[in-house]
Structure 1
Amino acid sequence: MPTPPIRQRATGRVTLADVALAAGVSPITVSRALRGERAVAPELVERVQAAAAKLGYVPDPAARALASHRSTHVAVLIPMLSNELFVTLLEAVQTSMRRAGYQTLIGVTHYDPGEEEQLLREQLMHRPAGLLVTGFDHTEATQALMARSGVPCVHLMENSPDEGVYSVGFSQSDAGADLTRHLIARGKRRIAFAAVQMDPRTLQRQAGWRAVMQAEGLFDPTLEWMNPAPSSMALGGLMFGQIMGQTPPIDAIFFCNDDLAQGALLAANRMQVAVPQRVAIVGFNDLRGSDLMLPPLTTVHTPLDRIGEEGAAMLLKLMRHEAVPERCIDVGYTVVVRQST
Structure 2
Amino acid sequence: MAPATSSLPRRRRGAGRVTLADVASAAGVSSITVSRVLNDPGKVSADLRDRIVAAIAELGYVPNGAARALASARPLLVAVLVPSLTNEVFVETLRGIREVLQPKGYQILIGDTGYDADDEARMLDTYLAFGPGGLLLTGLQQTEAVKLRLETLRLPRVHMMELPAPNQPAPPTVGFSQTAAATAMADYLIGRNYRRIGFLATQLDHRTLLRRDGWRASMQAHGLYNTDLEITDPGRSSVGRGGELLTQILASGMKLDALFCNNDDVAQGVVFEAQRRGMDVPKDLAVVGFNDLAASAWINPGLTTIATPRYEVGREAALRLLELMGGGSAPAPLDLGFRLVTRGSA
Decide: shared fold, TM above 0.5. Answer: yes
Instruction: Supply the distance in 2 between the matched residues of 1:111 and 1:150 (Cα, whole angstroms).
Output: 24
Which residue of 2 is the match for residue 331 of structure 1?
336
Instruction: Supply the distance in 2 between the matched residues of 1:67 and 1:183 (Cα, whole angstroms).
Output: 58
2:178 counterpart (158, 167, 172) = 172
2:301 counterpart (284, 295, 304) = 295
Which residue of 1 is the match for residue 126 of structure 2?
122
Which residue of 1 is the match for residue 190 of structure 2?
184
1:207 counterpart (206, 213, 229) = 213
Deviations 1:136-183 (A, max 9, x none): 111111111211122101000011254461000000000010000111
Unaligned runs of 5+ residues in structure 2 are 1-64
Deviations 1:8-62 (A, max 9, x none): xxxxxxxxxxxxxxxxxxxxxxxxxxxxxxxxxxxxxxxxxxxxxxxxxxxxx97
Which residue of 2 is the match for residue 313 of structure 1?
319
For 1:289, what is the secondary structure of its paired residue?
helix
Amino acid at match of 1:113: A
Residues 332 and 104 (structure 1), Cα distance of their counterparts in 2 relative to 1, 3 Å cut: same
Residues 67 and 133 (structure 1), Cα distance of their counterparts in 2 relative to 1, 3 Å cut: same
TM-score of the aligned structures, taking structure 1 as reference length? 0.79
- Equivalent residue runs for 1:215-226 within 5 Å: 215-226=221-232
Instruction: Supply the distance in 2 between the matched residues of 1:207 and 1:164 (Cα, whole angstroms).
Output: 21
Instruction: Supply the distance in 1 between the matched residues of 2:144 and 2:117 (Cα, whole angstroms).
Output: 10
For 1:156, what is the secondary structure of its paired residue?
strand
Amino acid at match of 2:267: A
Instruction: Supply the distance in 2 between the matched residues of 1:153 and 1:323 (Cα, whole angstroms).
Output: 12
For 2:328, what is the secondary structure of its paired residue?
coil
Say yes or no: does 1:249 pair with 2:243.
Answer: no
Which residue of 1 is the match for residue 239 of structure 2?
233
Amino acid at match of 1:138: Q
Report if the CA contact (8 A) 2:66-2:132 is conserved: no
Instruction: Supply the distance in 1 between the matched residues of 2:300 and 2:75 (Cα, whole angstroms).
Output: 49
Report if the CA contact (8 A) 2:92-2:311 is conserved: yes
Say yes or no: does 1:95 pair with 2:99.
Answer: yes
Percent identity over paired residues: 44
Cα offset, 1:101, TM superposition: 1.1
For 2:334, what is the secondary structure of its paired residue?
strand
Amino acid at match of 1:214: Q
Cα offset, 1:78, TM superposition: 0.3
Report if the CA contact (8 A) 1:175-1:333 is conserved: yes
Cα offset, 1:247, TM superposition: 3.9
Report if the CA contact (8 A) 2:181-2:338 is conserved: yes
1:280 counterpart (275, 283, 286) = 286
Larger Rg: 1
Instruction: Supply the distance in 1 between the matched residues of 2:74 and 2:332 (Cα, whole angstroms).
Output: 24
Cα offset, 1:82, TM superposition: 1.6
Instruction: Supply the distance in 2 between the matched residues of 1:70 and 1:323 (Cα, whole angstroms).
Output: 26
Cα offset, 1:245, TM superposition: 3.6
Report if the CA contact (8 A) 2:66-2:129 is conserved: no
Amino acid at match of 2:207: R
Report if the CA contact (8 A) 1:244-1:250 is conserved: no
Instruction: Supply the distance in 2 between the matched residues of 1:248 and 1:116 (Cα, whole angstroms).
Output: 38
Cα offset, 1:66, TM superposition: 4.3
Report if the CA contact (8 A) 2:70-2:76 is conserved: no
Instruction: Supply the distance in 2 between the matched residues of 1:172 and 1:164 (Cα, whole angstroms).
Output: 17
Say yes or no: does 1:340 pair with 2:340.
Answer: no
Cα offset, 1:73, TM superposition: 0.8
Cα offset, 1:197, TM superposition: 1.0
Report if the CA contact (8 A) 1:71-1:128 is conserved: no
For 2:212, what is the secondary structure of its paired residue?
helix
For 2:160, what is the secondary structure of its paired residue?
strand
Report if the CA contact (8 A) 1:76-1:105 is conserved: yes
Which residue of 2 is the match for residue 148 of structure 1?
152
Amino acid at match of 2:334: I
Cα offset, 1:104, TM superposition: 0.6
Residues 63 and 217 (structure 1), Cα distance of their counterparts in 2 relative to 1, 3 Å cut: closer
For 1:244, what is the secondary structure of its paired residue?
helix
